[in-house]
Chains A and B, each alone.
Chain A
Amino acid sequence: MKTDRKFFSRRTFLITSGAVTSGFIIGFSKLGKNQEKEDVEEFEPNGWLKIDKDGRATIVFARSEMGQGISTALPMIVAEELSINWDDVEVKYASHDPSTYGNQGTYSNSSVISSWHQLRMAGAAARHMLISAAASTWHVKSEDCRAENGYIVHVKTKRKLYYKDLIFTAAKLPLPQEINLKKNKDFKLLGTSPNRVDSIIKSNGKALYAIDIDIPQMHFATVLRPPFGSEILSFDTNGVKEKFNLIDVIQYKYGIAVIARDTWSALEARKLIALKTKKNIRVNSSEIKKELKKAVRKEGVPLFKEIRDQSETKSIKKISLEYFFPFSPHLTMEPQNSTALVSKKYCEVWAPCQKPEKVIEDISKEIGIEKKNIKLNLTLIGGGFGRRYESDYILDSVLLSQYYSKPVKVIWDRDEDIAHDWYRPASVNKITALIKDEKIHEWDHHVVSPSINIQRDNISRSVYQDQQPVIGCQPNYPIKNRISRYTHKQYPITVGWWYGPDSKNRFACETFIDFVAKTLKKDPLHYRQFLLQENNWRESATLRAVLEKVASMASWNNGEGKKKGHYQGVACVYECDSFVAHIVEISISQGKPIIHDVYCAVDCGLALHPDIVRSQIEGGILWDLSAVLYMGVDFQNGQARQSNFHDQPILRIDESPRIHVEILESSDTPRNIGGGFAAGAALANAWYRATGKMVTQLPMKNNVF
């Protein structure tokens, strides 16, 4: 067993609660609450779990479930260390309570990694106490006892004591001073794929999302914001107040709000309201594109520069390409919504939310209620993808509830969602490569785009201190000379985090590699393997392994498809700590790509729940294909031209390919999965193989078909 030798007395817990010496201090702040009592009903050694007198465990899930399966996978980590039957576990969703649970944000595909140690320690601490309780009952040494599926066994005598019979003794014990974690080979639950805890309620209508919240006396509202770059001068209700028997139509801080007795009346009335606006800043997509393109031809500011080979560059060939990426929306299936109940000093909110601490801060700033008096209920989320990182729709409900002194549920219509998203930034990228002896001597990648961090924080420091816009600009291959440049352009269009945060830069890199390979008349998959041969980069071997695997899955043959008239494209990526290689097989019908198969080999370390990993991979692939085929909103006078799924389509089931996944495991710790996909680049490379034309303007719809 692995031993964590950190010393934890109860005093240490109390004094350092919330300190950063180790993640698992947090979650122990409820420690010892049973010790003072005589009659113990349950054993609750820390904030993460309790065991009741029937021997059933309740394990707390304190992040946000938005389909990625962590409300199953994270409690499994606790249950594994606790050594209890998964069938005897109930998962409880926590409210926002950082003093007990630490960071409850759910973003950047980071939940498993950041919780791994903390949750194991929580489960293992309880196991130690149960073992001690059994050992003291039998008057034997703890070392001679072992925990198994809900009971402690004395190894020599095979005597057993079930957890339900130990909770009274265990609850009175001090915390263990040394905690042993299980070895991976002893895992019984992790690595298996029990059904998700939320799968039944997601097939019978009982799953409760924020949009389903019902509070007595609640008002139903929707909102209408002015176009980007404009302000509202006046508005004409066109008689909707009487027509729909509305409670009110008002102008508030962010636009017009329609307050009604049901959602339907609010949404219908909103359609008829006419805004008179004043344009302050011109916001037109065509002009933005021109401006970005013009700027990319200038030098840009190097944010990253590594020159390791300054040798002779005479025999060098220089090639370059420019890419365009549009503002891309999230389109969560559950539209933006929030329900708030605000009184003078207190605020309670139900909302889909990926970053609770930020939302609470934003609410506090907006309505002047102290953070400690704001309660944020974390509900199931109908799709996150980075959109629920923002507070805009939540502030709508809070402001309106404060104004009317009533609970208010705000639901955005789909056109509001598309017109006021926090888009993946539009961008023009230019890659210039110097080729020498069949190798890439230098990779120079220039990005011209808005900056998420700068727009968000409105910071005064230099815009060129922020690396975010150029993340993903360097390809996955060992290249001696690497430069990432950035030119900052900001518009009144809100930009934000998107599933697969650096997906556009990565798309440019992975398609440009095919461009290099073709220039050198090389097979694009073999050329990648050739570039990865040099082992001066520690990730090379793992990337080679996933490439080799995917090549054999797809029977790779220089881009020839398995059937006549079919073509294959390859792409690989190392991001979010996972290694992914894709091969996409397409044919072309009436000028459009038909995607038949996607092969995918993944190494994401230890797969805690292989079926959830698989579903994340399926989802990531389809998201990326949608992005490259369809995603892009454009603006005229600040108004989005797209308004719903007919003009901003997403992939439908009849366009969805067969997906073949193989999971490799190269390490004994879990790594992140989700977000690091490049199926779209592989699709573009298959298109390039089939037509000889590079895909450099996204989305493919309206640009190449």
Chain B
Amino acid sequence: MKILKKRININSKDYQVEAPEDISLLWLIRDHIGLTGTKFGCGKGLCGACTIHIEGRANRSCLYKLKDLKDEQITTIEGISEKDQHPVQVVWNKFQVAQCGYCQSGQIMTAIDLLKRFSKPTKDTIRKEMKGNLCRCGTYPRIEKAIEALLKEDRS
């Protein structure tokens, strides 16, 4: 396996990496860079636990190879706010969404992307956009309520 030496940008910080060219961003970020907020759930883009932003758009990091990365900016859960004040984090905390919490990094990254793309998503749009993120503890009702509350706050 060819080893790539590359400079990549994560959360506005440059990292020099040396890793197999086919390595997924998930394991590059977790094992090589040491940012562990991005989670492994299925390895096949089926559960959304590994969701990160590439140039501000949600992507499944388990499917994205290092060699396919050019000089795009990557954002992980650790990079969305310095003081935990991103509106989605705040509303997640307000509605006490997390139970075991393992899927929540991915849920939050998907929700942030959704709110960028839709100014006034309907309930159905929220459900459709979030359905790729699985949760086994059953936090779906709170995820829905939290996103809806955020939209109401924005309007008022």
B-binding residues in A (CB < 8 A): 66-69, 193, 195-196, 198-209, 211-212, 214, 220, 243-245, 262-265, 267-268, 331-335, 380-385, 411, 413-414, 611, 615, 618-623, 644-646, 650-654, 656, 658-659
Greatest chain A CB density within 10 A among B24, B35, B101, B127 is at B101
List 6 additional A-B contacts (Cβ < 8 Å) besides A199-B97, A203-B89, A204-B84: A204-B81, A212-B36, A615-B138, A622-B138, A653-B140, A654-B127
Measured between beta carbons, the chain A residues less than 8 angstroms from B46 are: 644-646
Contacts A200-B84, A211-B40, A264-B23; A650 near B143 (Cβ below 8 A): no
- Pick the residue among A66, A203, A244 that contacts B100 (CB under 8 A): A66
Judging by beta carbons under 8 Å apart, are B141 and A67 in contact? no
User: A212: nearest residue on chain B (CB-CB)?
Assistant: B36
Judging by beta carbons under 8 Å apart, are B134 and A204 in contact? no
Judging by beta carbons under 8 Å apart, are A205 and B41 in contact? no
A414 to chain B, nearest CB (A): 5
Q: How many A-B pairs with Cβ below 8 Å?
A: 185
Judging by beta carbons under 8 Å apart, are B131 and A69 in contact? no
- Pick the residue among A69, A384, A414, A615 that contacts B42 (CB under 8 A): A414
Contacts A335-B40, A654-B128; A615 near B27 (Cβ below 8 A): no
Judging by beta carbons under 8 Å apart, are B136 and A205 in contact? no
B27 to chain A, nearest CB (A): 4
Greatest chain A CB density within 10 A among B34, B49, B98, B108 is at B98
Judging by beta carbons under 8 Å apart, are A383 and B98 in contact? no
Contacts A205-B78, A380-B100, A659-B141; A199 near B44 (Cβ below 8 A): no
Contacts A622-B138, A653-B143; A263 near B100 (Cβ below 8 A): no
User: B143: nearest residue on chain A (CB-CB)?
Assistant: A653
B127 to chain A, nearest CB (A): 4
Judging by beta carbons under 8 Å apart, are B131 and A198 in contact? no
A-side binding surface: helix, strand, loop or mixed?
loop
The 3 closest A-B pairs by CB, nearest first: A205-B37, A382-B102, A67-B100
Judging by beta carbons under 8 Å apart, are A199 and B27 in contact? no
In the bound assembly, the distance between CA atoms of A523 and B31 in angstroms comes to 59
Determine whether B73 belongs to the interface, using a CB cutoff of 8 Å to chain A: no
Measured between beta carbons, the chain B residues less than 8 angstroms from A67 are: 98-101, 137
A-binding residues in B (CB < 8 A): 1, 19-20, 22-24, 26-28, 30-32, 34-44, 46-47, 49, 76-78, 80-81, 84, 89, 92-93, 96-105, 108, 127-128, 130-131, 133-144
Measured between beta carbons, the chain B residues less than 8 angstroms from A644 are: 42-44, 46
Judging by beta carbons under 8 Å apart, are A619 and B31 in contact? no
Contacts A380-B101, A383-B102, A653-B130; A204 near B37 (Cβ below 8 A): yes
A482 to chain B, nearest CB (A): 33
- Pick the residue among A69, A198, A333, A619 that contacts B134 (CB under 8 A): A333
Measured between beta carbons, the chain A residues less than 8 angstroms from B77 are: 204-205
User: Could you write out 17 A-B pairs with CB less than 8 Å apart?
Assistant: A67-B101, A68-B99, A203-B92, A207-B37, A243-B1, A262-B27, A263-B30, A265-B23, A333-B135, A383-B136, A385-B136, A414-B43, A619-B99, A623-B136, A644-B46, A652-B140, A659-B141
Judging by beta carbons under 8 Å apart, are B96 and A382 in contact? no
User: A211: nearest residue on chain B (CB-CB)?
Assistant: B40
Judging by beta carbons under 8 Å apart, are B96 and A203 in contact? no
In the bound assembly, the distance between CA atoms of A196 and B96 in angstroms comes to 7
User: A204: nearest residue on chain B (CB-CB)?
Assistant: B84
- Pick the residue among B44, B49, B101 that contacts A198 (CB under 8 A): B101
Measured between beta carbons, the chain B residues less than 8 angstroms from A335 are: 40-41
User: B49: nearest residue on chain A (CB-CB)?
Assistant: A333
User: B3: nearest residue on chain A (CB-CB)?
Assistant: A245
Contacts A204-B89, A644-B42; A220 near B31 (Cβ below 8 A): yes
In the bound assembly, the distance between CA atoms of A382 and B133 in angstroms comes to 15
- Pick the residue among A198, A203, A263, A658 that contacts B40 (CB under 8 A): A263
In the bound assembly, the distance between CA atoms of A411 and B34 in angstroms comes to 16
Judging by beta carbons under 8 Å apart, are B49 and A619 in contact? no
Measured between beta carbons, the chain A residues less than 8 angstroms from B108 are: 203
In the bound assembly, the distance between CA atoms of A202 and B106 in angstroms comes to 11
